[in-house]
Structure 1
Amino acid sequence: MLTALEVVTIVITGLMVGVEFSVAFVMNPIFTALPEDSGQLGRAHGGRMLGAVMPVWYIGSLILTAAWAVAGWGQDGAGLVVTAGALLIVSVLMSVLLLVPINNRGKTWTPENRPADWKQQMKRWDSYHYARVAVIIAAFTLLVVARA
């Protein structure tokens, strides 16, 4: 049973990392390269779509990691799993405190109502997102190493 929990946790967390990596290094650069209105509209739509699913994914990954830590307590790699869980907590806090407020504004913007500094706000979001991606990659790596 523990093996199944470990594999499910790694897969779910790994998929989340892949999506967030793709947002940072594929989707947002594509949006940035589009003509102004298209890029901003793409980011707004992405903010609405991913803003609805990512909280569940982040919390789900954290819950699975916590369950693994409890079920595997005392086994090899338990410290790595606990550390991965701590990093996932950091990623949730970063999301709530830094990224969500910007995303909540950005997902409502249209070319007619966006603020003059919308590009600066998106750059700030991108910077925070790069840091969050590094945190969740580290958490994912620890989970994989703990399973090895």
Structure 2
Amino acid sequence: MLTALEIVTTVVVGVMVGVEFAVPFFINPILNALPGDNGLLGRIHGGRVGGAVMPFWYIGSLVLVGIWAVAGRHEDGTGLVIAAAALLVVSVLMSVLLLVPINNRVKAWTPESRPADWKQQLTRWDRLHYVRVAVIVAAFACLAAALA
């Protein structure tokens, strides 16, 4: 049963990492290249979709890693699983304290109601997201190493 938990947890976190990695390296460059307000509209919609799904994915990933850490506490690699849990806690805190407030503003915008500093706000979100991606990639690496 522990093996199944380890595999499911690693896959869930790995897919989350893939989705979050795709945002700054693929999705946002595509949206930024669209003409007119189409890119902004895409990011607004993305903020709504991500804002609805990602809290469950981040918390769910953290819960799965926590269960793995407890269930496998006497197994080799538990320190790596605990490190992954700590990194996921950092990612959740970053999200709640830094990224979600910006996202909540963005998803309420329209092309007509966007603030004068909208580009700076998106740039700040992007920079913070790069850091969050690095944190969750490190968490995923810890989980993968714990499996080895």
Letter in 1 for 2:113: N
Q: Which residue of 2 aligns with 1:139?
A: 139
| Partner secondary structure for residue 84 of structure 1 | helix
Letter in 2 for 1:86: A
Structure 1: gaps of 5 or more residues: none
Partner of 2:109, secondary structure, is coil
Kindly indicate whether residue 83 of structure 2 is the aligned counterpart of residue 83 of structure 1. Answer: yes
Cα shift at 1:34: 1.4
Aligned-residue offset at 1:36? 3.8
Length-normalised TM-score, structure 1: 0.98
1:28 aligns with 2:22: no
Distance in 2 separating the partners of 1:64 and 1:36: 42
Q: CA–CA distance in 2 between the matches of 1:82 and 1:37?
A: 44
The two structures have a TM-score, normalised by structure 2, of 0.98
Q: Distance in 2 between matches of 1:49 and 1:114?
A: 19
Task: Determine the structure 1 residue equivalent to 2:62.
Answer: 62
Distance 1:99 1:75 in 2: 35
Q: In the aligned structure 1, how far is the partner of 2:3 from the partner of 2:57?
A: 21
The count of corresponding residues between Structure 1 and Structure 2 is 148
Task: String of CA shifts for 1:10-43, please: whole Å, max 9, x gaps.
Answer: 0000000000001111101111111241111000
Q: Give the letter aligned to residue 87 of structure 1.
A: L
Structure 2 gaps, min length 5? none
In structure 2, how many angstroms separate the alpha carbons of the residues matched to 1:4 and 1:119? 44
4+ long deviations beyond 2 Å: none
1:66 alignment partner AA: G
Looking at structure 1, the residues matched to 111 and 48 of structure 2 have their Cα atoms a distance apart, in angstroms, of 16
1:118 aligned residue: 118
Matched, 1:94 2:66: no
